[in-house]
Amino acid sequence: MPELHLNTQAVHAGYEPEKQFGSVSQPLILTTTFERENGVPREHIYTRNENPNRISLETKLAILEGGADAIAFASGQAAAFAVFQAVLEPGAHVLIPDDCYHGIRTLFAQVYQGWQINCEEVDMSVVSHVADAIRPETKLIWIETPTNPKLKIFDIQGIAKVATDKGIPVACDNTWATPFFQRPFELGVDIVMHSTTKYFGGHSDILGGAVILREKGTIAARIRAIQGTGGGVPSPFDCWLLNRSLATFPLRMPVHSSNAQALAQFLHHQAAIERVYYPGLPTHPNHEVAKTQMQGGFGGMLSIEVKGGMEKAIELAENLQIFTHATSLGGVESLIEHRRSAEGLHPRSPDNLLRVSVGIEFVGDLIRDFEQALARL
């Protein structure tokens, strides 16, 4: 068969109607343990190690991202943690972006405290900054692009080349762009991480994560062992639900993105908005890089800074009627969040910054909602 399109894979990959009943929708295999035959395990043994719903999900995730293997976890954080556990060791140095999901910073600051891991933040907007920061003991370069919450864009191919020349693995958190818009493996990345809680789940009702590997090998085997033995696994029901959500993922993404593009352009012209962060705007400092490494759109996330500080920002968020003031992102419904309040002990976001997850509602309604909310400021 010729290679199938992403939309077809999103529907079919990982499952064929099963033999017992010919069930078209995959049955939910709610069991922790599996019967042995004459003392020998048949296919599966125990759900922490594997479960048919999880195998289907992992097969689909690997195909959608274009990798050789996918390993599912109970959250995005558990997935990121598994990557760090697999490639770092005491004395290791790791580079992370100076703007990235705050939970990644927090993992190094809190959980890895005392493990002698040296985590250095770099502004990766310029590739040479990454090259200059590499040391003999650098064991991992962690990219996230576009970043959370400032939508910085990093040249994936440029960074991957610098790292590969030195034999250092590169991991990319592809949660915001998703393989619909951005394909890190084709740009030289070794490991892709996802919070499947976001666009893959798409309905704000499943927590999950995944690590996808470009090649099977030592790192893949270590992460697989961390999954089964560490035990941070998703339940069969979460795998089933996520698998079902993935069927419509390629249909949702272009709507998220075109809505965000239109809203970003509208907000860019509003006097009450000091700044719009969106890689699809020509004013974005790395718009040209975004254009070369993202295809078909720039994603559904944007951030804004509101004139008048934190008070006005929160007032704007509260004035909106369709956008819900809540954290998280990637669901069908639009959300807005005063980001600084969600960043825990050491917040970094400017206090007038609102992060917007643009949903798949009718874009005219979303823009009109902002018009009325801005008029009441």
Ligand X SMILES: *Cc1c(COP(=O)(O)O)cnc(C)c1O
Asked if residues 144 and 101 have their Cβ atoms less than 8 Å apart, the reply is: yes
195 binds ligand X (CB under 6 A): yes
Of the residues 9, 125, 145, 175, which one makes contact with ligand X according to CB under 6 A: 175
Q: Which of 50, 144, 155, 190 binds ligand X (CB under 6 A)?
A: 144
Q: Is the peptide bond before 149 cis (omega within 30 degrees of 0)?
A: yes
Q: Is 174 among the residues that bind ligand X (CB under 6 A)?
A: no
- Check residue 128 and give left, alpha or beta (phi > 0: left; psi -120 to 50: alpha): alpha
C-beta of 61 vs 374, nearer to ligand X: 61
- 3-state SS string for 355-370: EEECCCCCHHHHHHHH
Q: In Å, how far are 181, 317, 365, 367, 375 from 372, measured between CA atoms?
A: 32, 12, 11, 9, 5
Nearer to ligand X, 265 or 327 (CB): 327
Residue of 9, 197, 286, 303 interacting with ligand X (CB under 6 A)? 197
Q: Do β-strands 69-73 and 36-37 pair in parallel, antiparallel, or remain unpaired?
A: unpaired
Establish if 102 lies at the interface with ligand X (CB under 6 A).
Answer: no
285-344 residues in contact with ligand X (CB under 6 A) are none
Catalytic residue, candidates 101, 112, 277, 278: 101
Residues 6 or more apart whose CB falls under 8 angstroms from that of 40 comprise none
Q: Are 234 and 72 in contact (CB under 8 A)?
A: yes
Identify the active-site residue in 48, 161, 222, 348: 48
Stretch that binds ligand X, among 47-55, 112-120, 192-200, 311-319 (CB under 6 A): 192-200
Position among 15, 81, 84, 101 found at the interface with ligand X (CB under 6 A)? 101
Closest residue to ligand X in the complex (CB): 76
- By CB under 6 A, residue 235 contacts ligand X: no
Mark whether 101 is an active-site residue. Answer: yes
Size of the site for ligand X (CB under 6 A): 15
Return the residues of window 46-75 that contact ligand X according to CB under 6 A. 75
Among 304, 301, 282, 300, residue whose Cα is nearest residue 354: 304
- DSSP E strands: which ranges in 23-126? 36-37, 40-41, 69-73, 93-97, 118-122
CB of 328 to ligand X, least distance (A): 7
Q: How far is the CB of 172 from ligand X (least distance, A)?
A: 10
Chain centroid, CA 16 distance in Å: 28
Give the active site residues.
Answer: 48, 101, 173, 198
